[in-house]
Structure 1
């Protein structure tokens, strides 16, 4: 889980690789900004500031986002994407759609900008815009194309990351021409929201710089990408939080908890019963932060058993630890068993394990 050390004052390296040094002239821009999350909010605010300072360069901004959705029990709670409130705050025209089919963009749009939008902007819209489209992506493309680049960057424990400014491809996500890249080291950040705070301003600066220099106007700069091989960063699902005791090390578990949270398995309950296979599996959910324990704090021989087996922890044996594939013991802060009171898992599992060992 250790990364390349780096103190405060993260250096950011710009890679513009442009054979064209002068700023290209263009018509005042009427931008359709497609966004959703906090990462995209940084770019929207930067564009709005540019509009205020340089109306001759950026004339208008329309914001496009997904519709509000009902969530929670009984679908009683209405949840809007974060960028909606910012668009309203800035007094920008707002459009909300779940599909481009049948939707007509404002007729004056001459540049489309997409930042963490989630929908593929169709080629018909990009061709209708005089200057096509720009995409701000929080990875060093072609590495981590896809919906969850930040999470996959952290899961793979990369020492560096960055932001790519590229044109938008009419049929594929993250396959446009790379216009610039900026890199930055990763220090202690292991949670996606901390990475957004790191990369959001970098992405906003890249976008504004690209617009001010007219990088979106052909011919595009001759670019050299990050040098990483192409890889895919798909959207994460609950299945990604299921612990694989046969392959995850103790460090893997700590990292996945920090990035994904809510790890779970379906074997801990049966193994505390002393059963290798249970007739009915019970889902056990673990909440962090996790600790990696010295096996000396363990008072039975469970740490000698295979990965995924429980161990009684502490002098009173009232806590549960779990053995990992690299021979260590990890302990979550809280355990909840499906159908049981929240947070009661340590007590329930330790009681079952003591009983199975004949200790009570």
Structure 2
């Protein structure tokens, strides 16, 4: 099948790779290059680098709304367009071009967690399962009919990175199956239940701040759902302390206030008093420093008993 691929980050690469192995990928649309702040050099994003390595034509339009871009897609004449974390809205004029339409690989079990950060959201909300949905692109955001979905259990050890890496491989596997079904005319179109739909907005800096007034379970899920990207944080001595990993403790401390470092666990890290127990910070990054283990936070006096995290 002649396929046009649209995608940008690492999550999209396994899906692109499986299409290249089994179909004719006639072009790749990806977002414009980023400039490295330190060296001011252009950094190729993962999908573009893959396209260069495989010698596949690359397109990096600022917008898909122009007649010029829409004409390019018409000339490419794809039978199917596959979108995986592209980061741009697909206009109606493009949706109508390919014979088999446009499908999307979405990293949640739709209709739950439509929008920008579904993997983070599943962890933050304490979900027991996440997964990947293959769906048709419609004019609404992640509202199209479902072709296939596959779930995976979320474990206590999962954080954003581990779940992300598992879902990107599941996405490639289910995408191959969906494209095969489309080619045979055996694919389903299952409408989404709008009453069960939830939506995740892009994160702002304030959204990433830890609320120590929450339960230990909520704080644990919040931290791991944002680790290592985009990373939760708290104020410590009027500076930002990025928090990468924490552990829950049932132990309740009578002394101190919520958000106060009330104890330490040797070899693990400082203990923070929270609503229904306590939290051990096991990995964090003080401002202008490297990421440190909880033990090193204590050993270097970066965090001390009596400190208040706000």
> Does TM, scored on the shorter chain, surpass 0.5?
yes
Which of residues 186, 190, 214 in structure 2 aligns to 1:223? 190
Q: Distance in 2 between matches of 1:331 and 1:45?
A: 38
Per-residue deviation, 1:93: 1.2
2:33 corresponds to which residue? 68
What is the RMSD computed on CA atoms of the aligned residues? 3.2
Tell me by how many angstroms 1:140 deviates: 1.1
**What whole-Å deviation, never above 9, does each CA across 1:89-147 have from its counterpart, x for those lacking one?**
22211111231243423412232111111101111111122322111111111101011
Q: Indicate how the Cα distance of structure 1 residues 129 and 185 shifts in structure 2: closer, same or farther if over 3 A, else same.
A: same
After TM superposition, the structure 1 = structure 2 runs for residues 207-222 of structure 1, keeping only pairs within 5 Å, are: 207-214=175-182, 221=188
**In structure 2, do the counterparts of structure 1 residues 189 and 168 end up closer, same or farther at CA, with 3 Å as the change threshold?**
farther
1:350 matched to which residue of 2?
A: 304
Residues in 1 aligned to 2:279 and 2:149: alpha-carbon distance in whole angstroms: 41
| Counterparts of 2:163 and 2:78, CA distance in 1 | 32
Structural mapping, 1:79-90, within 5 Å: 79-90=43-54
SS in structure 1 of the partner of residue 104 of structure 2: strand
Q: CA deviation at 1:76?
A: 1.3
Give the SS at the match of 1:214.
helix
Selected match of 1:96 from 50, 60, 66: 60
2:13 is matched with 41
The Cα shift of 1:256 comes to 2.7
Aligned partners of 1:184 and 1:329: how far apart in 2?
27
SS at match of 1:141: coil
Preserved CA contact (<8 Å) 1:139 1:163: yes
Distance 1:265 1:223 in 2: 43
Distance 1:332 1:161 in 2: 25
Alignment-derived partner of residue 21 in structure 1: none
Cα distance, 1:68 vs structure 2:
0.8
**Corresponding position: 1:235 with 2:207:** no
Match of 1:250 in 2: 216
Cα distance change, pair 252–202 in 1 and its aligned pair in 2 (3 A):
same
Do structure 1's residue 311 and structure 2's residue 262 form an aligned pair? yes
Q: Which residue of 2 aligns with 1:110?
A: 79
- Among candidates 228, 246, 259, match of residue 290 of structure 1: 246
Partner Cα distance (1:124, 1:284) in 2: 46
| Distance in 2 separating the partners of 1:162 and 1:226 | 17
What are the superposed Cα offsets for residues 164-204 of structure 1, whole Å, 9 maximum, x if unpaired?
111111x3221111122222322355222322332223222
- What is the total number of aligned residue pairs between the two structures? 292
Deviation digits for residues 45-77 of structure 1 (CA, Å, limit 9, x no counterpart): 1111112xxxxxxx443111001111324x614
Is 2:78 aligned against 1:78?
no
Matching of residue 160 in structure 1 with residue 126 in structure 2: no
Match of 2:274 among 299, 302, 324: 324
* TM-score where L is the length of structure 2: 0.80
**Structure 1 residues 204 and 149, CA, compared in 2 at 3 Å: closer, same or farther?**
same
Partner of 2:108: 139
Give the Å deviation of 1:349. 5.0
TM-score by length of 1: 0.70
